[in-house]
Every structure is written in structure tokens, then in C-alpha cells.
Amino acid sequence: MNAYSIGVDLGGTNLRVAAIGAEGQILDKVSEQAVFDAGPRQVVNEIVGVIQAVRARIGADGLRGVGIGVPGYIDMDAGIVIGSANLPGFEGFPVRDEVQERLGTTIILENDANAAALGEMWLGAGRGVKDLILLTLGTGIGGGIVINGKVLHGFLGMAGEFGHMTVFPDGNPCGCGNCGCLEKHASATAIAAMGRMMHFGRDTTSAKVYELALQGNERAKRVFESAGRALGVAIASLINIFNFPLYLLSGGPLPAWDFFAPSMFAEVNKRSFTFARTGTRIEKGLLGADAGLFGAAYLPFECGKAIGNQPSVISHRSPALS
């Protein structure tokens, strides 16, 4: 039986599960609606049920573990969601231990944006790179920092809040209490809001602004130019701070790359001499919504390497050297 792992992406809407081989082969993929009405224990039941079905189809022998990506702050040591706007009832609930007890295999809980950064590193635009930053443009802007192949969590699991970097100190107000947060100028929500400012109608979405830009609408193009400038200010600072070789963008507005990238690159060129003088890359993520799912599946392999080596050395040594 070849080694494989199972990734779980638990969002506010969907529960998605994938079984992936050690070389990145997708062995199975399941998607169903996530229902939170009956509380976290019922969601755990759902997760466990889907994983058991996948495991039964593929075989239990090769399973190295399960990674679960969730939208929220994670206490990595405890395996607990300590804060989440999208998972009602999960705060303080011991997700990892509940699932682990039921399945009897290693479970690793991780923030979904961090998982997406790992997914892009493993199977997407970051193949071959060990140090990268992913920014995910959605309702807000989140992301993940990968250093030497591992996620940077910070001391409370709150690292990577790129959406709340200040890009325009007197910019749009943010629910966090700040003005000029990146996500108020470049998220899908911000693009839609700027579209409404351009009188595209109350039901304007970032996708609609994109459609209008494709049709040649100059005001729609200027919305993306504005978002690109904000992204450029933030990414230039990130490059000056981290000096990583690769910065990735993903999320709903990504198809509009050709509309926001020129102003983004213009800002980065101006604001980061590191970018201007080196081969630093800013690119599109390649995995879309699968990045977090695949990255969740990567977690057991990554931890397996660290954990797996120790016992084998000890077992070799103990008879000969003790």
C-alpha cells in the first residue's frame, strides 16, 4: 500500500475532503455541504464519516494522517479553534482530539490560508520553493507565510494577517478599528464596493466589475488599478521585510490579473529596491480553491518526516548501543 494522506477543507459553506498520495497524486475527492446548525459535534460526525468512507475505499494501511484546514485562529499545541468568524460554535471546541479519538490516526489542525500556502508550495506555483508568502483575496485578505517549508504561526496563531497591513494611513475605515487596511482597498469585497462607488449598481460583485472591465469599461478598469496599487504598497513592504523569492496571490479576483497587475508591479518596482534588483517573483497561485485542501493533505507528510525519522534511528541504535 502506497502512502497517502487525507486533507479536509472545512469552510463556512462546504466540507471538502481529498486523499492524496505522497507524490501528489489525487486518489479521491469528496465535496458536500457543511451544516453548522446542529453544533460542532455534528460537524465532526460529518468529517469523520466522510474520512471513514474515503479510507474504506482506498485502504487504511497507507494512511499517514489527516490534515484539517479551518477558517480561524488555531492553538496548534492544543488543536483547538480559538477564534473564527465563519465556524459558529467552534471556538474552544477540541476539534483535533475529537476527530483523532474517533479515527485513531494523526490529526493536524491548521488555519485554511496557511494550509493554502503549503498547498501551493507542494503542488502549485511554489513547487521547488521553501520560502513564500501567499495572499488570498476574498471577503477579506488573509494568507500564509512559509519559511523553510513550514508555516509561521506566531505566538497566538495570528501571523499572516496581511489584510490588516496599513497601506493608506487615512484610507477606508475597517471593522478592526483601523483606516486604510489592505483588505479595504484590494479584497473582492473592496473591489465590489468600489464598483458600487462607480455606480455599477447595488448588486455589484467583483466578478461583475471584472466583466465590465473585459467589456472595456474604463471606470471598471480604474477599480482594478486602484486595488493593484494597494496590493503593490503591501507586497513591496513584504518583500523588503522577508526577502523571499516568491509571493503568490489567489482568490476570486485572480482572473482580473491583467487589470490589477500593471499598477501592482509599478508600485512594487518603485517601493522595493530588493524587488527591482533581484529575481523576486510575484505570481498567480495555480490551485485555486484546492490549495487549502491539498495543503491540509500535506500536513501529515510534513510532520511524518519529522516524527518518522526519530523512532527509526532509535530502533536501530537501541540494541547495539544501550
CB of 159 to a second copy, least distance (A): 4
The site for a second copy (CB under 8 A) is made up of 131, 145, 147, 152-162, 164-169, 176-179, 233, 236-238, 240-245, 270-274, 276, 278, 316-317, 320-321
Q: Which is nearer to a second copy, 60 or 147 (CB)?
A: 147
CB of 47 to a second copy, least distance (A): 27
Which residue carries 502549485 as its cell? 124
Q: Which is nearer to a second copy, 47 or 81 (CB)?
A: 81
Cell digits for 29? Answer: 475527492
Contacts of 158 (CB under 8 A, 6+ apart): 73
CB of 58 to a second copy, least distance (A): 36
DSSP string, 221-270: HHHHHHHHHHHHHHHHHHHHHH--SEEEEEETTGGGHHHHHHHHHHHHHH
Q: Which is nearer to a second copy, 5 or 272 (CB)?
A: 272
Q: Which is nearer to a second copy, 100 or 187 (CB)?
A: 187
CB of 141 to a second copy, least distance (A): 11
Closest CA to 197 of 172, 178, 175: 172
Give the pairing type, strands 14-21 and 4-10. Answer: antiparallel
Q: Cα(224)–Cα(235) distance, rounded to whole angstroms?
A: 16
Contacts of 156 (CB under 8 A, 6+ apart): 73, 82
Q: Which is nearer to a second copy, 174 or 293 (CB)?
A: 174
CB of 280 to a second copy, least distance (A): 8
